[in-house]
A and B are shown apart, each in its own frame.
Chain A
């Protein structure tokens, strides 16, 4: 009997599990000595399975993270190795006006985008969750911006919102003054928020669709029997049923909004809007730390601050969720 056929038979006969117990791992026949040797290797077996994944995490997540933290205490440049400077980068950061501008804009961005991304995709999901002819088209259409390149999306919106773009042509055609979407600091940030919301709707809609599929139909029927209308059912049945998904969407969108880069970069320009007024923290990291003269040490210090704030946000959301569960 070949080892291969033994393996096949063992796999095909789960009822004979006790007999497999005697067989070595992998179903290969062997003597007592071989069994003992393999047993002694058992504790390390999980590490063999975990090894590749751990190495990838260590190489691509842990190492860059530790390296960033280490760099934040140095004056490292892109091409010149750094010297230890203690907390000098963090002290500089406190006195850097652009850092505070970046922090303010990142927080504003989050405050503007997250409520919309929690509520609008849910409403959209309720619309497309209905089974009716042609609904698949609308589901795909709403999801299209998610798969579109953010650069292409950004450029399209720049053309739309330009002083002589489509939106302003309509506005002036109706007899109103042009709206300075791309030259006013506040409107620039709002325009970038709109792009983020428009691009994110489809993604979060899919998450809500999955959650809505798990809401028992009987709950809606019972509420209807009790005389609840559509709006009341939404607040008393749908929202409580998808509350944990709303928390998840809130957490994901707030982290993404806080780390916003592409939309603001494309719409407000690399210098971050007029006078840098629309610079976000991640834009500041990119501007400070990249290029041949990049100040990697200082950019790393900003990155560490962004990490701490993001982590804090996640913990706050989780804690709020746990309290409500309790």
Chain B
């Protein structure tokens, strides 16, 4: 009996020690090389971000074409829902299960590259650089790291929808929506005054891309620290505070999420909101009276450059089929396949010359066509204002500090100083 107890205790202690040691050593996940030399063959795991529901046929055709072009390859397509995508990636990465080719945005690829999980494509696929728009290729360059860590894929800008009827009711010209922040602030105050605070211009407080579009320097030249508490940043928050006090911002602006803001626009309690082709279809179906009055305009900016949203394809540095993974990521992002995808949905190819195609330069008489042509023109000079190092935690820190400024709990300057201090602290520990 005594022996058995001892044995059981020993096993338990050993098991416990093993488990604890496993915990200590489980997360260093880097390794692998940046070379993609070798034969293109094997099974490539390909992960997209919420694309299967609407574009299943397109991707199945794309995969079939690739497998035909490279006999001996097979593509296993996985699609993840939009929600909690970053958490899904982190769980896969920590478990060593990251797919070979992964749909990412610059802020997602940064921590993966830093952990040694993303291939440096400047080394592995630098020969393809010339096929892409220079700005798009550079969009996955990361501060403090040499190289490029994802193939640029589709691009988009964030057009704004506005309610022409609410503009007209407030005595504003419905055919001349605001183009700059100054015009936006003036129109917002006018609208709130004339509607006696019932109609707000916007549903959200400024996010990091608003700071960029306003012309605020977000980071220093080395990308080593944040600087958005400079005078222009303080000015932006001060102006938003005036909007908030005048009820030109929705009363729930401090807590609204994108879904809530969309609902406010649909309820016609706010006059402007970011939107896309899918929103337009939704309004057409669910709110025909709103749909009839929707105007579409580029997002306001003081820089002359729109915000550009970039999607990319990262290649897992630990992939066992690197040549095939790189070939597939390049195949998906080549000019022909990006153009085909742009015919499926309003996105813009990141490949050189594609935006000069008549498909993007000639209007077809519809609202959607007008948005597409305007956005394609804007995207040539657009900038991705959100720094790749700006993590979710930093977004929350900025949002919370701006909210405190709106509530008057802190001055705009103090709020931004605190936000910058917190973001710099998070950057150091990233």
Min distance, Cβ B368 to any Cβ of chain A, angstroms: 29
CB of B401 closer than 8 Å to a CB of A: yes
Given contacts A43-B4, A287-B393, contact A275 B407 (CB under 8 A): yes
Q: Are B1 and A43 in contact (CB under 8 A)?
A: yes
Chain B 238-273 near chain A by CB (<8 Å), digits 1 or 0 = 000000000000111111110010010001010000
- Which chain B residues (50-107) contact chain A, with CB distance < 8 Å? 86-87, 89-90, 93-94
Segment at the B interface, from A105-113, A132-140, A292-300: A292-300
CB closest chain-A residue, reference B426: A293
Q: By the criterion of a CB under 8 Å from any partner CB, how many residues of chain B are at the interface?
A: 54
Decide yes or no whether B278 CB sits under 8 A from chain A: no
Q: Tell me which residues from 278 to 294 in chain A have a Cβ below 8 Å from any Cβ of chain B.
A: 287-288, 290-294
For the complex formed, measure the closest distance between the CB of B351 and the CB atoms of chain A, giving whole angstroms.
Answer: 28
Q: Is A170 an interface residue (CB 8 A)?
A: no
A222 sits at the interface (CB 8 A):
no
The answer on a CB contact under 8 Å between B108 and A292 is: yes
Q: How far is the CA of A272 from the CA of B392 in the complex (A)?
A: 14
Instruction: Find residues 238-273 in chain A having any chain B CB closer than 8 Å to their own CB.
Output: 268-273
A80 near B429 (CB under 8 angstroms)? no
| A78 interface hit (Cβ, 8 Å) | yes
Contacting pair B407 A274 (CB below 8 A): yes
| A127 smallest CB distance to B (angstroms) | 36
Contact A47 B115 (CB under 8 A): no
- Which of A178, A273, A291 has the most B CB atoms < 10 Å from its CB? A291
List residues of chain A with CB within 8 A of the CB of B255: 182-183, 188, 268-269, 271, 273-274
Question: What chain A residues lie within 8 Å of B257 (beta carbons)?
Answer: 269-270
Docked complex: B378-430 residues within 8 A CB-CB of A? 391-393, 396, 399-401, 403-404, 406-407, 409, 426, 429-430
Across-interface contacts of A178 in B (CB, < 8 A): 251
The 8 Å CB contact of B391, one of A80, A273, A292, is A292
| Chain A residue nearest in CB terms to B18 | A63
| A82 cross-chain contacts in B, Cβ below 8 A | 24, 27
Q: Per-position contact with B for A180-203: 1 when CB-CB < 8 Å, else 0?
A: 101100001000000000000000
Please name all residues of chain B whose beta carbon is closer than 8 Å to the beta carbon of A272 when the two chains form the complex. 400
Q: Contact between A58 and B90 (Cβ–Cβ < 8 Å)? A: no
Q: Mark A35-59, 1 if CB is under 8 A from B, else 0.
A: 0000000011001000000000010
Whether A67 and B23, one on each chain, are in contact in the complex, defined by CB atoms closer than 8 angstroms, is yes
* Cβ contact of A78, chosen from B19, B94, B396, B404, cutoff 8 A: B94
Q: List A contacts of B429 (CB < 8 A).
A: 75, 77, 295
A275 to B26, CA, bound (A): 36
Query: Quick one: which of B19, B114, B269, B430 has the most chain A CB within 10 A?
Result: B19
Contact B29 A79, beta carbon cutoff 8 Å:
yes
Q: Which of A79, A158, A188, A292 contacts B27 (CB 8 A)?
A: A79
- Complex: how many Å from CA A293 to CA B114? 10
Q: Considering residues B28, B252, B407, which has the most beta carbons from chain A within 10 angstroms of its beta carbon?
A: B252
Partner of B252, one of A66, A163, A291: A163
Residue of A nearest to B2 (CB): A43
Which residues of A sit under 8 angstroms from B130, Cβ to Cβ?
Answer: none
B10 within 8 A of A: no
Closest beta carbon of chain B to A189's beta carbon, Å: 12
Query: Which chain A residue shows the least CB distance to B254?
Result: A274
Q: CA A47 – CA B25 in complex, angstroms?
A: 30
- Chain B residues whose CB sits within 8 angstroms of the CB of A290 once the complex forms: 87, 90
Structural contact, A164 and B267, CB atoms closer than 8 A:
yes
- Complex contact A63–B23 (CB within 8 A): yes
Q: Say yes or no for B42: interface residue by CB 8 A criterion.
A: no
- Contact check, A291 vs B26: say whether CB atoms are below 8 A apart: no
B206 to chain A, nearest CB (A): 14
Bound Cα distance A218, B328 (Å)? 79
The residue of chain B having its C-beta at the shortest distance from the C-beta of A63 within the complex is B19
Asked, given contacts A80-B28, A275-B407, A292-B89, whether A66 binds B251 with beta carbons under 8 Å apart, the answer is no
CA distance A28 to B393 in the complex (A): 65
Cβ of A276 < 8 Å from any Cβ of B? yes
* Interface check B20, CB cutoff 8 A: yes
Could you tell me the distance in whole angstroms from the C-beta of A190 to the nearest C-beta in chain B?
Answer: 14
The answer to whether B396 and A276 touch across the interface, beta carbons within 8 angstroms, is: yes
In the assembled complex, A320 has its CB within 8 A of some CB on chain B = no
Q: Give the distance to chain A from B269, nearest Cβ to Cβ, in Å.
A: 6
- A39 and B426 CA atoms in complex are apart in Å by 62
Q: Counting CB contacts under 8 A, is B182 at the interface?
A: no
Taken residue by residue from 93 to 119, chain A's Cβ proximity to chain B (1 for < 8 Å, 0 otherwise) reads as 000000000000000000000000000
Q: Could you tell me the distance in whole angstroms from the C-beta of A105 to the nearest C-beta in chain B? A: 14
Residues of A within 8 A of B287 (CB): none
Residues of B within 8 A of A80 (CB): 27-28, 114-115
Q: Which residues of A contact B28 (CB under 8 A)?
A: 80-81
- Chain A residues within 8 Å of B392, by CB: 287, 291, 293
Q: Are A67 and B29 in contact (CB under 8 A)?
A: no
Which residue on B lies nearest to A267, using beta carbons? B255
Closest to B8 in A: A47
Given known A58-B19, A275-B403, A275-B407, contact A79–B251 (CB-CB < 8 A): no
Contacts of A180 in B (CB 8 A): 251
CB-based nearest B residue for A50: B8
How far, in whole Å, are A292 and B426 apart by their CA atoms in the complex? 13
Point out the residues of chain A lying under 8 angstroms from B110, CB to CB.
Answer: 292
Question: CA–CA, A214 to B342, complex, Å?
Answer: 69
Contact, CB under 8 Å: A81 / B111: no
Q: In whole angstroms, what is the CA distance A47 to B5 when docked? A: 10
Interface presence of B231 (CB below 8 A): no
Q: Is the CB of A309 closer than 8 A to any CB of chain B?
A: no
Q: With A and B bound together, what is the CA distance between A79 and B95 in angstroms?
A: 10
Taking a contact as CB atoms closer than 8 A, the residue among B24, B263, B399 that contacts A81 in the complex is B24
Interchain CB contact under 8 A, A292 and B112: yes
How distant is the Cα of A296 from the Cα of B26 in the complex, in angstroms? 13
The answer on a CB contact under 8 Å between B400 and A294 is no
In the complex, whether A171 has a CB less than 8 A from a CB of chain B is no
Given A70-B20, A79-B90, residue A293 in contact with residue B8 (CB < 8 A): no
The reply on B135 being an interface residue by CB < 8 A is: no
Q: Are A292 and B90 in contact (CB under 8 A)?
A: yes
Asked if B117 CB lies within 8 Å of chain A CBs, one says yes
Measured CB to CB, the closest approach of chain B to A186, in angstroms, equals 13
**Apart from the given pairs A163-B252, A273-B254, 10 other A-B contacts in the complex at a CB distance below 8 Å:** A58-B16, A58-B19, A164-B269, A183-B253, A269-B256, A274-B404, A275-B404, A275-B407, A288-B393, A295-B429
Binding site for A on B (CB under 8 A): 1, 4, 8, 15-16, 19-20, 23-29, 86-87, 89-90, 93-94, 108, 110-112, 114-115, 117, 250-257, 260, 263, 267, 269, 391-393, 396, 399-401, 403-404, 406-407, 409, 426, 429-430
For this complex, 6 residue pairs linking A to B, each with C-beta atoms less than 8 Å apart, are: A67-B20, A188-B255, A274-B255, A288-B393, A290-B87, A291-B90
